[in-house]
Structure 1
Amino acid sequence: MELTDLIAPQKYNLTNEIDRFDSDRIALYWENEAGEKRTVTYHELIQKGKQFANVLNHLGIKKGDKIMTIVPRIIDAYVIYLGALRAGIAVIPGSEMLRSKDISYRINQGEAKAIVVYEAFTEQVDHIDETMPSLQHKISVAGESNGWLSMDRLMDQAPTTYTTVDTEKDDMAFLTYTSGTTGTPKGVVHTHAWAYAHLRIAPERWLDVREGDTVWATAGPGWQKWIWSPFLSVLGKGVTGLVYFGRFHPEKQLQLLQDYKVNVLCCTPTEYRLMSKVDHLDHYDLSQLHTACSAGEALNRGVIDVFKNTFDLQLKDGYGQTESTLLIGTLVGKDIRIGSMGQPILDEFITIIDEEGHEVPEGVVGNIAVRRDFPALFKTYYQQPERYQKSVIGNYFLTGDRASRDKDNYFWFKGRRDDIIISSGYTIGPSEVEDVLLKHEAVKDCAVVASPDPVRGNIVKAFVILKEGYKESPALIPELQKFTKKNTAPYKYPRAIEFVSDLPKTVSGKIMRSALRDLELQRAKEQQN
């Protein structure tokens, strides 16, 4: 693949890729936990997207503006994205697990003109008590809420014809927030040109999406991974996506794979681990499944062996980040090396460098780095160029992970360069959890690190020093956990809390999270032996 193949035309709107499939072809199968089912064609989805573009324009939201959306795995999620992007409006994805302060930060930092929220989640927005100068409209989805406009009512009145806005390839399409080691979340700017490059990399080189496939990527709409796979890698390739709106149960996931004859599956290592433990796994028929991919964290050998022995199915690792697309993985047609991250999606753009920006020899541990002219790399951190520069060495952007490579250019993961925690595919900044815990009346100081876990890969663990007058007790642990869930997204809460009398610090007084992380790794090894 040549570099020119990944560069979008100067005038480009990613919805034009999807318009190529405007027909009665099935775009999505949808099912919820109650067993209700829907089927949506490309024509229906595209038409509804045009209606929503009209809705936004009617409200005065135009090209160059931004909206935030918090919706679960429902058809309306696709409609919202298609409508906004067609109108040249950027989308700020939001998870339903975000809390009021998380939401207000994204609205204010991202300067969102509107927020579009599933009716059941509107309460978190209503509880925001700080001013949001940019916010002009609140739209509820799949239900009505006091003080909110109704998406259904607005759509009923909207025309179904719309001329796609003439966007430039470098116009913003997505503003996705990701955790940092310190400070507030960072707004990752992706352009329409990023989507063009992504569509020509991940679906073909990793997911192996083929004409006529049914693809199930389980990520939720609040995350960049949803944009990667359930949205772009499905609709941008003209295949059929499966959407399941319900709680995860491994038996249900296996049954859906069988019932819908899924050809491509992309889910987290945690989901694969739990499916691998299901009794009578061989009773399920997954013979239609030709590709099973995993992203978010490394797969372990035991899970890989279960799927290989039971279904003759080779699970494929993939590595990327919010700032990019798939960077490294088990690529189509390439040999699998168990334990390896795989190979770079494009050798000339992805490498391993030292702290001076020089490529390291094989076998030497260094920083996984992406050349800054890689077409599927983000543009910058919104209104925070200094945070972008901190991740740059010379002509390379650092992913934050370290690895070595062998003579055949297979990468082998060696750990984080920073203190970011990856748990069940979620990326969690320790400072976000620490900031919440420090607001509790009993907490004097704390440090949050990753602690190895056999199911989730890692869990969030907090080391806590209590204020004078407070004593550690079993009852205090769930109290602190509940407090954290209430004040930040619940997936960030510490699943383990250890009370300590002091924390390791540098001479300048900075907490050494690395020492605590190493302690947890050592404890995990001792438990295994």
Structure 2
Amino acid sequence: MAQPVVDLPREFNVAVEFVDKNVAEGRGDKVALFYEDKTYTYRQVQELTNRVGNGLLALDVEPEQRVMLLLLDTPEFVGSFFGAIKIGAVPVPVNTLLKAPDYLYMLRDSRAKVLIVAEPLLAEVAPVLRQAPRLEHVVVVGKAQGPQHDFARWAAGASPALDAADTTRDDVALWLYSSGSTGFPKGVVHLHHDMVYCADTYARQVLGITESDRTFAAAKLFFAYGLGDNLYFQF
């Protein structure tokens, strides 16, 4: 059987590999993300990741529990994605162009405990939230209402320091729902090692991406290709 190109230790967390490692190796002040007219360094990404992770822990999110991300391509997506992974939870980025019945199906199918949603997308999913029996918390990037959590306040109130959960390279890191097939979308499971192998075998060896490159893809972050080319390939 062919061996993986990258030899990873058994005890492994991909958020540490992509976020914390860059800071530890001296790239903390290097630009990691461009968003509109702002830049975000690896250190800023790490801080947001840690605050979101601690915020999720405060909501009693446990390892392997799903956190649905109904978010636009923003820094909050990045912090939520890596923050969930760092505590051993499982982010589930979903298509931002779907309708309420689709979101209800995914909430039920994933058994998501927390939904982090962008305010412009809240109106579509709001009518079905009460029908998702495992959903306990809704965090809104924007204006929250009633029992919902305001993302900015929620994250700001959490600690910027966070130790990673005791995960392994073969633990579940994220789900991505399939598209384009007949029937209901399928929740495709990705493990902690998968993004590292993809970044090495495709981004580095095929595309030739280096740490000095800037990348942009039209695909959104909830698509597998967009998630790679617009986010973790550079990390």
The alignment's TM-score, normalised by the length of structure 1, stands at 0.42
Where do residues 99-248 of structure 1 align in structure 2 (5 Å cutoff)?
99-128=99-128, 131-179=131-179, 181-235=181-235
Separation of aligned partners in 2, 1:136 and 1:82: 21
Other structure's SS at 1:73 match: coil
Q: Distance in 1 between matches of 2:221 and 2:30?
A: 23
Structural mapping, 1:19-418, within 5 Å: 19-22=20-23, 23-31=28-36, 37-128=37-128, 131-179=131-179, 181-235=181-235
**Unaligned ranges ≥5, structure 1:** 32-36, 236-529
Unaligned segments of structure 2, at least 5 residues: none
TM-aligned CA deviation for residue 129 of structure 1: 6.9
Cα separation, 1, equivalents of 2:108 and 2:7? 32
Deviation of residue 74 (structure 1)? 1.1
Letter in 1 for 2:184: T
Query: What CA distance in whole angstroms lies between the structure 2 residues aligned with 1:25 and 1:219?
Result: 24
Amino acid at match of 2:34: Y
- Cα distance, 1:92 vs. partner? 0.8
Partner of 2:5: 5
Query: How big is the shift at 1:197?
Result: 1.2
2: distance between equivalents of 1:211 and 1:182?
A: 39
Q: 1:181 to 1:224 in 2, by over 3 A?
A: closer
Flag the 1:181–1:84 CA change in 2: closer, same or farther, 3 A.
closer
Q: Deviations over 1:427-475 (max 9, x none)?
A: xxxxxxxxxxxxxxxxxxxxxxxxxxxxxxxxxxxxxxxxxxxxxxxxx
Q: Deviations over 1:121-160 (max 9, x none)?
A: 1111211176211111111013333442111111121011
Provide the aligned length of Structure 1 versus Structure 2.
229
Distance 1:44 1:232 in 2: 16
Tell which has more relative contact order, 1 or 2 (C-alpha 8 A, sep 6+).
2
Cα contact 2:113–2:137 (8 A) shared by 1:
yes
Q: 1:157 to 1:210 in 2, by over 3 A?
A: same
Which runs of structure 1 show a deviation greater than 3 angstroms over 4 or more consecutive aligned residues? 179-182
State the Cα distance separating 1:101 from its structure 2 match.
0.7
Question: Residue type matched to 1:103 in 2?
Answer: Y
Please state whether the residue corresponding to 1:231 is helix, strand or coil.
Answer: helix
Once residues 94 and 43 of structure 2 are traced to their aligned partners in structure 1, the CA distance between those partners, rounded to angstroms, is 27
Question: Contact 1:180–1:186 at 8 Å: present in 2 too?
Answer: no
Maintained 8 Å contact 2:65/2:112: yes
SS at the partner of 1:144?
coil
Q: What CA distance in whole angstroms lies between the structure 2 residues aligned with 1:181 and 1:71?
A: 23
Report deviation, 1:224: 1.8
**Greater radius of gyration (CA):** 1
Q: Deviations over 1:477-499 (max 9, x none)?
A: xxxxxxxxxxxxxxxxxxxxxxx
- Paired residues of 1:107 and 1:135 also in contact (CA < 8 A): yes
Q: Which structure has greater helix proportion?
A: 2
